[in-house]
Amino acid sequence: MIYGIWTFCAALAAFLISAIMGKFLIPYLHKLNFGQTILDIGPSWHKNKQGTPIMGGIMFIAAITFVSIISTIVYIFTGANFINTYFADIPRESILIFAGLGLALANGLIGFIDDYTKVVKKRNLGLTAKQKLVLQFAAAALYLAVLAIFGCGTATIIPFIGEVDLGFFYYIIAAVAIVGVVNSVNLTDGVDGLDGSITFFVSVTFMLIACNLSSLGVTAMSAAGAGACLGFLIWNFHPAKVFMGDTGSLFLGGFVCALAFAINMPILLLVVGFVYIFEEISVVLQVSYFKLTHGKRLFKMSPIHHHFEMCGWSEGKIVSVFSAVTAVLGAIAFALVNFGVK
């Protein structure tokens, strides 16, 4: 019973904060002329989105951060009394939550710098790819260093296999995985409502898994993510009144990584985050094929959501199909944990 109330309150609070912020933030972004510049490399019909405010991700960043911090503080001081469970490691879980929020916020800051460079400094491409990667790896390294300092170890859980200690290689693999996922989530943000919808289902998946593992703090954090994404989608569904920008998409990338590491099963990102990852893979395949064939294209356009747009799919259909795929993969991830982790 307590799990249900706790989860509902976290999701509702985050939803309300995110949704209500849009009422005030969007006019303010308009006033600042923080509008999106649509590049010629995208679908031509996206040109009518020119001038739509970016940095709307601030809405769900504020909601997730505030609700996660408050719920974790309450969890620390009262959790041992009302959870009534002998295996709740509240201090360790709290460290993972705060460190995870730090990872998400650090990536959100990188995105903010990128967006600010685009709209204020009038550099359409923002930060260079090299600059982003350096900053992202620095954020991942700092996050992993915090986990190491607090003794979280180098072992990870793989369903049906058990705990596997990767030693020093854990940090290398983890850093590459975090940066890879963060950029995958960033690339997914190209159709109205797509990134927020997929992240909603990813958050719900981790919420159910964390609840099943009796990780109440991570359950609340995941619920906050789901609620905040829904609040943002009120303003971001097609036709979008605001874009999350790199501020939001990079934050969400760090956030989903934080959830996976908080339950010590980052391997699940390969399943529940498949749509994110395939978006990035489609870009790699497109570029590689283009170079190998001296100008031929594997897809009509990449990332893959643009390919389906070029095939005649509406933005709503893309969001619906990609979200449905994520929901199914989320159910598979939940089953893997439910039956494959003792």
Beta bridge partners of 156: 164
Nearest to 266 by CA among 279, 251, 281, 277: 277
Separation of alpha carbons 28 and 7, rounded Å: 32
CB 138 within 8 Å of CB 322: no
How many helices, marked H, and strands, marked E, lie in the chain? Answer: 12, 2
Given the DSSP bridges, would you call strands 155-158 and 162-165 parallel, antiparallel or unpaired?
antiparallel
Task: Give the pLDDT band of residue 87 (cuts 50, 70, 90).
Answer: very low
**Average pLDDT score over the chain:** 90
CB 59 within 8 Å of CB 25: yes
CB 193 within 8 Å of CB 315: yes
The pLDDT of residue 2 is 67
Give 48: exposed, middle or buried? Use CB within 10 Å, 0-12, 13-18, 19+.
exposed
Task: Give the pLDDT band of residue 32 (cuts 50, 70, 90).
Answer: confident
Report which of residues 266 and 238 the model is more confident about. 266
Q: Is the pLDDT of residue 134 over 80?
A: yes
Separation of alpha carbons 37 and 180, rounded Å: 25
Separation of alpha carbons 137 and 181, rounded Å: 12
Give 272: exposed, middle or buried? Use CB within 10 Å, 0-12, 13-18, 19+.
buried
The pLDDT tens digits for 177-193 are 999 999 999 999 989 99
DSSP 245-305: HHHHHHHHHHHHHHHHHHTT-GGGHHHHTHHHHHHHHHHHHHHHHHHHTTS--SSSSSSHH
Nearest to 234 by CA among 16, 74, 11, 88: 16
The pLDDT of residue 85 is 45
How would you classify residue 122: left for phi > 0, otherwise alpha for psi between -120 and 50, otherwise beta? left
Q: Is 98 helix (H, G, I), strand (E, B) or coil?
A: helix
Separation of alpha carbons 146 and 206, rounded Å: 22
The pLDDT tens digits for 216-226 are 899 999 999 99
Q: To the nearest 5 percent, what fractions of the chain are helix, strand and coil?
A: 75, 5, 25
pLDDT, average across residues 26-52: 68
Beta bridge partners of 218: none
Nearby residues of 327 by Cβ (< 8 Å), 6 or more positions away: 201
The pLDDT of residue 17 is 98
The pLDDT of residue 119 is 82
Separation of alpha carbons 243 and 324, rounded Å: 22
pLDDT, average across residues 224-248: 95
Separation of alpha carbons 235 and 248, rounded Å: 14
Q: Is the pLDDT of residue 111 over 70?
A: yes
The pLDDT tens digits for 71-86 are 999 888 776 555 444 3
Torsion of CA 216, 222, 228, 231, to 10 degrees: -100
| Model pTM above 0.85 | yes
Nearest to 65 by CA among 210, 235, 258: 258
CB 53 within 8 Å of CB 243: yes
157: DSSP letter: E
Instruction: Return the minimum-mean-pLDDT range out of 44-53, 139-148, 233-242, 294-303.
Output: 44-53
